[in-house]
Structure 1
Amino acid sequence: MLFGFTGVELSLIIVGISLFGGILSGYPVAYAISGSAFVSFVVIAGLNEAGLLYTLQEINGTVQKIPVFEGGWERAILSTLSTWSQGVFSRAFGGNVETLLAVPLFVLMGIALERSNIAEDLLTTMAKLFGTLPGGLAIAVVLVGTLLAASTGVVGATVVTMGLIALPTMLKNGYSKSLATGVIATSGTLGQIIPPSIVIVLLGSIVGDMYAIGQENRANELGVTVLEMLGEPAVLSTGTLFKAAFIPGIMLALLYAAYALGYALLNKDKAPPVQLGEPDSYGLLSYYNNNPWLMVGAAVGPLVAMVFAWILMAQTGIIGTTVIEEEVTHGPLSGGTFALFVLCGFLITLALALRPSYDKKPIIAGLAGLALLLIADWLYVPADASGGDKFQFYIIPAILIVYGLKHALLRLLEIETLRVVSPPVILIVAVLGSILGGVTNPTAAASLGAAGAMMLAANRKLKDSGQSTKPIIWASLAVIVMLLMRGNFDLRMTMEDTSFEDKIAILVSLIAYHIALFGLLYSCWILIREKTMSPIINETTKVTSMVFVILIASLFLSLTIRSFGGEHYIQEFLQSFEDPRTLLIIVMVVLFLLGFVLDFIEIIFIVIPIVGPVIYAADPTLMPPAWITILIAVNLQTSFITPPFGFALFYLRGVAPKDVTTMDIYRGVIPFVIIQVIGLLLLWHFPEITTFLPELLPAN
């Protein structure tokens, strides 16, 4: 054996050298990966023919040399092609094609928002809102990074956008270079974890299969079936991962903001308050006795109370359905009704908090309508009620709620911050709400997000040119009508026996559909006329092509590793660790180091298929698969900001002013790396952070 390594170990070393050499060569990553697969296979085949790559095995009492390609390189090629045709290709593009379709749609959604300058408006408005606080600009960057992460899901785009817009403003207003660069680089990587994240979508296309394979292997070892072992199928959907990632992502954003505030309080000269906008002409603070915390409490306190009430009632079975020994029990309150109650209640109470001196009669009417809605749903509307029955009981509360919402929205839109923030926030809520609420899967939600982003971009262009935006507003209302019809009526037109109320709902839905379609086509025409559509489509095509070409290239590399038994060797090595948590720590360390030199796409498509069947074979009650996946995502996010090789640091370095040195960026991100480690430790010791939301919300 050469240098004391077995033939398989030497082959893995050859593949690793070829891969990293190809990546460091400067060639596009997709070509480097596929080229390294071809080059390493040729080198291994040549050394195999020369008798230098072999393993020692005892056969019939004698130790014999077994080449890594037992039948020669010709047979290895045929075996590789057979493996490709019998499942690897279909696993990538067959069973997962619906999940992967969400990738170009989410990319389109993010790029449309970015190219329409909505991101710039968000950052400017947030800076005006929080600038007067110590470290306010840094807090604004964190909040905008969170919103952009939930809208773009692309790390590079978010870091570059905020680096171009926010960094000069922060430096001009006396912020330290380290804090400014650190908060921008780190907040930009939230797109790795906050849904709808491209990382989560791509992980979802892989880890579902890995979890199924791992549990099937564990069941075979125990001599039982997966259903007998788990009591349910081994399924891990992308929608579940979105739910699992939501709270960790928000937790990390809050930790970033808390650090920025703490840093500013301790170093007031390095993160001073800044007055970027005009003082509040409405005199809102004076109404709350110049106490901003009292104002914040009045604004978000009702929302917090309603959410806690929602969680409490969901856990006690008052809201939603519970399944006990295959018997379904419906709670007295519908989950959808209470979700509508929370959303409308927040908007109405927010208008009361931010415009307290206005006439309160519409607000009282709206709140009364919400109360009547809950009473009707609890006492008179059964869980299996038809849309017509619901309409009879909901019509009066609905009129009151619409009346209250109309006045509430008009008052809220007087506030510049809400005028700028509300459109993208509404889009994000619609996309995430449809996924987290179990209404639809991520792919359909991505379609909604892409269409909504195009309409928002067109709306912005129309406003800039002083033209009417009514077609887009009517189209948005039509989408809401379709969602309401879909949630309350049976819209299947192929049924032989369709009730009168369902026929009316189908007619209303058809009208709303054509209005929405016209609005979307009109939006596309506006973007084409303003010469914005072409760069949006071009950039979306580039990013999407990169993802899928890397997917194909990584499959080539995986087949090369399989051809000489490398995948089996790695899995056997990992299985030698008896404690699954120790194994997971080792895998996390390896992924963290790989994150310095490989993008998340390569790691997901190359590494996860190899280690996945082993780490996802653990008992899901001890190591929930969603928890493992979110740990991996946060771990990759950490490696993306860790000096000296973090990808986000290179993105920021490319757009930072010349007076900002690389060492300034390194010093700035180190505290945030520590925060990331703290976040990982919290997730490690408290898996409930990731499992709470999937268990609370309905399955997709």
Structure 2
Amino acid sequence: MLFGLDGVEISLIIVAVSLFGGILSGYPVAYAISGSAFVSFVLIAGFNEIGWLYTLQEIGGEMKKVPVFERGWEHAMLTTESTWAQGVFSRAFGGNVETLLAVPLFVLMGIALERSNIAEDLLTTMAKLFGSMPGGLAISVVLVGTLLAASTGVVGATVVTMGLIALPTMLKHGYSKSLATGVIATSGTLGQIIPPSIVIVLLGSIVGDMYSIGQENRAAELGVTVLEMLGEPAVLSTGTLFKAAFIPGVMLASLYALYALGFALLNRDQAPPVHLEDPDSYGLLSYYKNNPLLLVGAVILPLITLVVLWIVFGVSGVIGEAEVNGAVEYGPISGGTFSLLVITTYITILGFVLRPGEAKLPIIVGLAGSLLLFIIDWNYVGGNASGGAKLLWYIIPAAMIVYGMKAALTRLVEIEVLRVVSPPVILIVAVLGSILGGITNPTAAAALGAAGAIMLAANRRLKETNRSTAVVIWASLAIIMMLLMRGNFDLRLTIEDITFSDRVGIVIAMISYHIAAFGLLYSCWVLIKEKVMHAIVYETTKVTSMVFVILVASLFLSLTLRAFGGEHYIQEFLQSFEDPRTLLIVVMVVLFLLGFVLDFIEIIFIVIPIVGPVIYAADPTLMPPTWITILIAVNLQTSFITPPFGFALFYLRGVAPSNVTTMDIYRGVVPFVIIQVIGLTLLWFFPSITTFLPELLPAN
């Protein structure tokens, strides 16, 4: 044995050196991964043939040398190639294809929004609103990064856009280069943790199988079935991961903003207040005795109250449904109905809070309608009520709510901040609401988001050229109507007995579908005519191709590891840790270190399939699979900002002015890497941060 290492250990070193050498060579990552798999296989096969790579095994009472390719390199090559071909086929047409379809759709959604200049409007408006406070521009970048993360999820587009728009402004007004670059690079990565997230979609396509395999292995060791052991199937869906990631994403954004504010308070000369424009040009403060705290309280407190009520009702079983002894028991309030009540009530209240001088009657009528709908749903509408029965009970309070909402929205769109923020927020509510509310799965929500982004981009172009946006608006309303029909009626055409109310719902849904489809086609035509669609499709194709080529290449590398027993060796090493939490810490440290040199896609497709069956075999009551996955996701997000190969750093370096050096960018992201570690620590000690929403909200 060379240096006391057996053949498998030497083979692992050969693979690692080949992989890192290929990545550092400058070749595209996908080709570097597949090339390193081929080169390492050839080297291992050659050394195996000349007798250098072997393990010592006891056979017939004596120790014998066994080559790492026991049946020769030819058999190993044929086995690897056939398994690789089958794996590629299953990836393309197997059970995960629906999950992976969300990747190009979310990418399309992000690219379309980036091309519609929404980010530029958001940054400009937020800078006017928060610029007058210390560190206000940095806080604005964090807020915009959070909104773009929830509406696009594309790191490159977000970092480049904010780097082009915000960085020159921040430097011009005396901001520290390190703070400016750090906050832009890091805020741009929020799209990898705040849903909809490509990282979570890709993780969801893998960890569901890892969790199932891990729990089956644990059940086999105990001599029972998975159902007997867990009391439920070992299922982990992408929709559940989206719910689990929402609160951690918002938590990280809050930590970024707190750091920016703290830095500004301690170093006022490096993050000074900036007066870009009168932030109260609409006279908002005059109604609140020129006290910004009163205004913020009036805006935030109703939202906090409604959310707290939502949480309390959800935990106590007042809203939603639960399965008890095989039977579904409904709470007094429908989960979907209460979600809509929270949204509409807050918008109505906001219309009064931000425009208290306007007529109060429509607001009172709208709030009375919300209260009436709440009372009716609690007392008269059961959880299993048909869509027709709901329509009859809801029609009067719904009309009152619409009346109040119309008045509130008319007032709110007069305010520039809300007029700019509302398009991405509406898209966020539609996409995330449909997932978190259990209306649809992430793939269908991704399609909704892509269509919505295209219509938003077309709407923006039509406004710029002073053309009517009526078609796009009607199509948007039709999409909302389809979601309402989907949530309240059984729209299946294959069942034998379709009730009259469901037939009405089906007809309304079909009419809405054709209106929405026409609006989408019209939006595409507008973008084609404006020569924007070509760039959107080109960028989407390029990013999607990169993801899937890496997927195929990483499968080849994984099979090379499996051919000489490397995968089994690593898993045996991991299983030697008796405490599963200690094992998880080791895996997290390894992932963190790999993030310095590997992109998140390579880590997901190369590392997770190897370590997944081991770490997901832990008792889910001790280590919930959603908690493990979100810890990994936050760790992978860190890979975007860890020097020297963090992708966000390269994106920012490409658009930063010449007077901003690479070392300025590196110094700027170091505090945020520390914040990421703090965030991981909080998630480690408080798993409920990730498990709270999946337990509260209905399953997809």
Q: Which residue is equivalent to 1:134? A: 134
Confirm or deny: 8 A CA contact 2:111 2:152 kept in the other structure: yes
Confirm or deny: 8 A CA contact 1:181 1:668 kept in the other structure: yes
The alignment partner of 2:268 has SS state of coil
The alignment partner of 2:185 has SS state of helix
- Distance verdict in 2 for CA 1:282–1:162, change over 3 Å: closer
Q: Distance in 2 between matches of 1:281 and 1:42?
A: 70
Q: Distance in 2 between matches of 1:419 and 1:623?
A: 44
Q: Distance in 2 between matches of 1:322 and 1:504?
A: 28
Alignment of 1:394-413 (within 5 A): 394-413=394-413
The one-letter amino acid of 1:326's match is G
Q: Percent identity?
A: 80
Alignment of 1:71-86 (within 5 A): 71-84=71-84
1:46 matched to 2:58? The reply is: no
Q: Distance in 1 between matches of 2:345 and 2:389?
A: 24
Higher mean displacement: 530-539 or 653-662: 653-662
Shift of 1:510: 1.7
Q: Which residue is equivalent to 2:602? A: 602
Shift of 1:604: 0.4
Q: Which residue is equivalent to 1:323? A: 323
Q: Distance in 2 between matches of 1:60 and 1:496?
A: 67
Shift of 1:282: 3.0
1:557 matched to 2:557? The reply is: yes
The alignment partner of 1:224 has SS state of coil
Shift of 1:27: 1.0
Q: Which residue is equivalent to 1:159? A: 159
Higher mean displacement: 385-394 or 459-468: 385-394
The alignment partner of 1:549 has SS state of helix
Higher mean displacement: 113-122 or 632-641: 632-641
The one-letter amino acid of 1:186's match is T
Structure 1 unaligned spans of 5+: none
1:111 matched to 2:111? The reply is: yes
Shift of 1:503: 2.5
- Distance verdict in 2 for CA 1:493–1:57, change over 3 Å: closer
The alignment partner of 1:626 has SS state of helix
TM-score by length of 1: 0.98
Shift of 1:45: 0.5
Which string of whole-angstrom CA distances, capped at 9 and with x for unpartnered residues, describes residues 49-94 of structure 1?
A: 0111101112122211100011111111222234335657425641
1:501 matched to 2:504? The reply is: no
Q: Distance in 2 between matches of 1:480 and 1:322?
A: 27
Q: Which residue is equivalent to 1:293? A: 293
1:460 matched to 2:460? The reply is: yes
Q: Which residue is equivalent to 1:538? A: 538
Q: Which residue is equivalent to 1:257? A: 257
The alignment partner of 2:550 has SS state of helix
The alignment partner of 2:484 has SS state of helix
Q: Which residue is equivalent to 1:488? A: 488
Q: Which residue is equivalent to 1:657? A: 657
The one-letter amino acid of 2:386's match is S
Shift of 1:644: 3.5
Higher mean displacement: 155-164 or 467-476: 155-164
Q: Which residue is equivalent to 2:643? A: 643
The alignment partner of 2:333 has SS state of coil
Confirm or deny: 8 A CA contact 2:56 2:66 kept in the other structure: yes
Shift of 1:130: 1.0
Q: Distance in 2 between matches of 1:342 and 1:25?
A: 54
The one-letter amino acid of 2:367's match is L
Shift of 1:324: 2.8
Q: Which residue is equivalent to 1:573? A: 573
TM-score by length of 2: 0.98
Higher mean displacement: 275-284 or 106-115: 275-284
The alignment partner of 1:278 has SS state of coil
Higher mean displacement: 683-692 or 16-25: 16-25
Alignment of 1:341-356 (within 5 A): 341-356=341-356
The one-letter amino acid of 1:566's match is G
Q: Which residue is equivalent to 1:36? A: 36
Shift of 1:497: 3.3
Which string of whole-angstrom CA distances, capped at 9 and with x for unpartnered residues, describes residues 284-321 of structure 1?
A: 11211111111011112111101101110111111111
Q: Which residue is equivalent to 2:101? A: 101
Q: Distance in 2 between matches of 1:357 and 1:582?
A: 60
The one-letter amino acid of 1:358's match is E
Q: Distance in 1 between matches of 2:501 and 2:70?
A: 70
The one-letter amino acid of 2:389's match is D
Which string of whole-angstrom CA distances, capped at 9 and with x for unpartnered residues, describes residues 459-501 of structure 1?
A: 0000111111010001111111111122222223344433333
Shift of 1:279: 4.5
Q: Distance in 1 between matches of 2:510 and 2:245?
A: 36
Shift of 1:379: 1.1
Q: Distance in 1 between matches of 2:530 and 2:200?
A: 33
Q: Distance in 1 between matches of 2:490 and 2:665?
A: 56
Alignment of 1:665-676 (within 5 A): 665-676=665-676
- Distance verdict in 2 for CA 1:87–1:674, change over 3 Å: closer
Q: Distance in 1 between matches of 2:556 and 2:20?
A: 15
RMSD: 1.3
Alignment of 1:270-281 (within 5 A): 270-281=270-281
The alignment partner of 1:427 has SS state of helix
Which string of whole-angstrom CA distances, capped at 9 and with x for unpartnered residues, describes residues 424-479 of structure 1?
A: 11001110111111111000000000000000000000011111101000111111
The one-letter amino acid of 2:26's match is G
Q: Distance in 1 between matches of 2:386 and 2:584?
A: 49
Which string of whole-angstrom CA distances, capped at 9 and with x for unpartnered residues, describes residues 328-365 of structure 1?
A: 22111111111111000010001111001000000000
The one-letter amino acid of 1:630's match is I
Q: Distance in 1 between matches of 2:551 and 2:135?
A: 42
Q: Which residue is equivalent to 2:306? A: 306
Q: Distance in 2 between matches of 1:9 and 1:92?
A: 33
- Distance verdict in 2 for CA 1:516–1:619, change over 3 Å: same
Moved over 6 A (4+): none
Shift of 1:154: 2.1
Higher mean displacement: 191-200 or 631-640: 631-640
Q: Which residue is equivalent to 1:122? A: 122
Confirm or deny: 8 A CA contact 1:300 1:350 kept in the other structure: no
Q: Which residue is equivalent to 1:58? A: 58
Confirm or deny: 8 A CA contact 1:596 1:647 kept in the other structure: no
